[in-house]
Amino acid sequence: MRLSLERESHADRTGIWFAGPMRARIYALVAEIRPLNCLMAAFAALIGIFVSKATLAYGTIGTILLAFIVVFLVTAGGNVINDYYDVAIDKVNKPRRALPSGRITRQTALFYALTLLLLGVAVSVFINPVCFGIATLNAALLVLYSWKLKRSALIGNLLVGYLTGSVFLFGGAAVSTIFIPGVLFLSATLAITSREIVKDIEDLTGDKRAGASTLPIRYGRTASLTAAAFFMLTAVAISPLPFIISALGYAYLAIVFVADVVLLYGVAMSRSAPSTASSVIKYGMLVVLVAYIIGGI
């Protein structure tokens, strides 16, 4: 990795962009944040607001818009900082991305990432202190994850689970309603952590070559499968909670039951087919979102 970083171009060392039309530069910056990914995260925050069942008046439109912007910016900054630290690997695995292809420099990418993260945190100030706290914590964790913890055993998996699930919590916090978004946050965190472990099992051979220290590498497949099952079973166990306390009705319970079956099936097949299992778990999580949306109507 050090050798590839030492052979950066003169433009990368000085921070000067490669020559080219302004339109191409703007396109490279837009592509680098992976806008579709950012939009999906921002819409997840809106789901957190929707399922909160908070009383939404005309005056809350501004708050909802700010929440959307914060999540978009912080997610964008997280994507760029991730590419900044992964540039040597991406030059081999994803050479067409803006940073490894040289369309933007590493120095530019670092400035871009930090600007996006700081803007996201700054905008969160105008929502409420809880949202400011979540945005600040998540921005710091995104940098720490990309810098040090991405391929560490279990901690990296938990961070991905938390960072993804916290978007729903952020949405609920924006309208000062935490409980139902909080259950969705916890359920998503646990399910995504389980899926990340399954993905590590799938990537076991490649991660060994890269010198990673994932859960399967350190403790083996059996222990990793047990951990994935534990996190998923816990997620499934808490899924009926909104129905039990009468926050969501029978429609939610029926759909989330289907989702739970899909999620458990995904984990069960992770021993023999981790790649397929990861996809099945992803679809199960989408069904969970449908359950919350239908239940919140």
| Per-residue tens of pLDDT for the chain, all 297 residues | 333 333 444 444 444 444 457 788 888 889 889 999 999 999 999 999 988 876 666 668 899 999 999 999 999 999 999 889 887 777 766 777 778 888 888 899 999 999 999 999 999 999 999 999 999 999 999 999 998 887 778 898 999 999 999 999 999 999 988 888 999 999 999 999 999 999 888 877 777 776 778 888 888 989 999 999 999 999 999 999 999 988 889 999 999 999 999 999 999 998 888 889 989 999 999 999 999 989 877
The pLDDT, as a whole number, for residue 1 is: 38
**Interacting residues of 296 by C-beta distance below 8 A, sequence separation 6+:** 50, 51, 53, 180, 248
Residues in the chain: 297
Within a domain: 1: no
Residues 75, 202 within the same domain: no
| Residue-range definition of the domain harbouring residue 243 | 179-297
Distance CA 140, CA 143 (A): 5
Residues 48, 100 within the same domain: yes
Distance CA 272, CA 232 (A): 17
The pLDDT, as a whole number, for residue 57 is: 61
User: Two tokens at 288?
Assistant: 């969970």
The pLDDT, as a whole number, for residue 210 is: 66
Give the total number of structural domains in the chain.
2
Residues 84, 210 within the same domain: no
